[in-house]
A = this chain, B = another copy of it.
Amino acid sequence: MGGVTDLLSSHSLDVATRYLDLAGVFASALLGGAIARVERLDLFGFLAVGIVSGLGGGLVRDVLLQHGTPVALTDVAYLPTAIAGSLIAFVISISQHAWDRLFTVLDAAVIGFWAVTGAHMTLAAGLGWLPAVLLGTMTAVGGGVARDLMLGRIPAVFGGNAMYATVAMITAAIMVLCSYLDAPALGIILGIVVSLVFRVLAVRRGWSLPNGRDWQPRSRLATVMERGRRVVPRLRP
């Protein structure tokens, strides 16, 4: 266990997560740019949507935490990475299909990492476990939510996209647990791994959260009474 602890607290974990973080910003900005293309925005629109997609989650978290200027503005690597993603999306047209193949795995790891980071920073600011799970989730899905709102869409994470936000919530909760056990580095690794496995499974098997209709007691009772129909709530709307 000593060797693992050394590894986990080592410089290499910092470096690895740093690259993962920036890769996540880049990929999110790229996806934001791809959506800007669908909306036929101009170059400024690409930049605005790309930057918000890549950095929006962290910005919202830091604005809510009120613990100093957002990292997205003080860390010199973030903005150039988001701008690079936006510009590449401007020059090259990325299809949703290519996106899905290239980035699903990266995206899955990034959700976990961002949720873990957000939860960790919230605890470090002295807040409780519930705000930590909330802001961890917000860090992971906030960029996508802000992007969708900017373009007049109901955020995709609010319904039927393979438990994207659920993965973020679970990962943030894992980090809270590991922090209470005084093992934040373990939390980072567990978070990323769980997020990867869970999200890839959810995408492959088409898992999704129930929506309100599925869980109405009345409709479930009605379903029970009508023989021949399945009783379990539908998992796919």
Contact = CB atoms under 8 A, between A and B. Distances in A.
A209 B42 contact: yes
**Number of identical monomers bound together in the oligomeric complex:** 3
A65 interface: yes
Contacts of A43: 209-212, 215
Interface string A33-44: 100110111111
A69 interface: yes
A137 B166 CA distance: 34
Categorize the interface residue count of chain A.
35 or more
A79 interface: yes
A17 interface: no
A68 B67 CA distance: 8
A165 interface: yes
A74 B125 CA distance: 10
Given A149-B149, A158-B42, A69 B125 contact: yes
Interface string A145-156: 100011111110
Nearest to A130: B79
Interface of A: 33, 36-37, 39-46, 48-49, 51, 59, 62-70, 73-74, 76, 79-80, 89-93, 125, 127-128, 130-131, 134-135, 145, 149-155, 157-160, 165-166, 169, 208-213, 215-218, 237
